[in-house]
Amino acid sequence: MKKIKNIVTIVAIASMSLFAVGCNMVQKTPEAIQKTVVAKVGDEKITMADINKELEPQINQLKEQYGEDYLNSDEVKKQLADAKKSVLNNLVTEKIFLKKADELKLTEDKDKIDEEVKKQFDEIKASFGDDDKFQEQLKLAGLTEEKFTEAIRKQVIGQRVNDYIFKDVSVSDEDVQKFYDENKETQFVDQPGAKISHILVADEDTAKEIKTKLNNGEDFAKLAGEYGTDGTKDKGGELGFIEYTNPNYDKDFMEAAKTLGEGEVSEPVKTQFGYHIIKATELKKDQVVKEFDSVKDQIKSYLDNKQKDDQYNSTLDQWKKDLKVEIHEDKLT
């Protein structure tokens, strides 16, 4: 189902037109509501019928989940309203992309597009193992093979448009270095902490027994493997480097860990999980700025994504102006 969701426009849940109340319902028949124009892209119109068609599978899911009275929930009503706005914007963007793909001559090699569509279709179908499972998922998504193929085609063309938008996006080594220099003191800092290992057991007596063995010189990792009751037992009890301010660990556990010197082992520490024997190594008592080489790939990825987001949004805004796009969310009924 995950693969299908990557192809088809799927939103959380469906259309508010089925439960709209008030003067609009008095003034308009259901047929008139379906014909209501909620957006224009050039000379193409998007109507409520288009919105409801996209949302039909989600309406069916709601009925199965909540029954026929699912529209009585205020929470569901809000979700439905949000879903309709999402579908509307997706359809507008889709029409813009298809128009621009033709205008930019990105669809002239029809044979190559057909080949890519078939390849993706076959790969997705094969991922379900057999045809019955594939057909079942298509049905759940409200699709036929023909509609699914067309959805893939739109995705392939959409990717070409994205590639066109991003063709000039480039992050240089200088850009990465500049971002690091300007932000290293705030964004690329290791807080005080230590490499923490522990041995977790269920009762205090066992914890004291382990502590005695450690005091007599037995190996911590060996005892972790022998006594430990959590997943770290297979790697010597290692939890990795943990900042002392990390909120994801038990407060009593971290308070004990903070008191340990290099290589020291705690007395038994009780938490909600049981009793811990804690060991600390590779202590870092002060903030340490991370080395450039350790974060440069992370920075480059961030800058690349940011440039793409900015380029996408500015290009789409300009195309909306070029095509005189009109969006009327207030007419969603």
Q: Which long-range contacts (CB under 8 A, 24 or more apart) does 186-191 make?
A: 188/289, 188/290, 188/295, 189/287, 189/288, 189/289, 189/290, 190/241, 190/243, 190/284, 190/287, 190/288, 190/289, 190/290, 191/243, 191/244, 191/245, 191/287
What's the angle, vertex CA 68, arms to CA 62 and CA 69, rounded to 5?
95
Region for residue 45 given its phi and psi (left: phi exceeds 0; alpha: psi -120 to 50; beta: otherwise): beta
Domain 189-288 maps to which CATH number in 1.20.1250.20, 3.40.50.300, 3.40.50.170, 3.10.50.40?
A: 3.10.50.40
Digits of tens for pLDDT over the chain (333 positions)? Answer: 344 333 333 233 223 332 233 334 344 677 888 999 999 999 999 999 999 999 888 888 888 888 788 888 788 888 889 999 999 999 999 999 999 999 999 999 999 999 999 999 999 999 999 999 999 999 888 889 999 999 999 999 999 999 999 999 999 999 999 999 999 999 999 899 999 999 999 999 999 999 999 999 999 999 999 999 999 999 999 999 999 999 999 999 999 999 999 999 999 999 999 999 999 999 998 888 999 999 999 999 999 999 999 999 999 999 999 999 999 999 998
Q: Name the amino acid, one letter, at 6.
A: N
- For the chain, domain boundaries: 2-166+314-331, 189-288
138 touches 144 (CB < 8 A): yes
What predicted TM-score, i.e. pTM, was given to this entire model? Answer: 0.70
H runs (alpha helix) in 67-189: 74-103, 110-127, 131-140, 145-165, 173-187
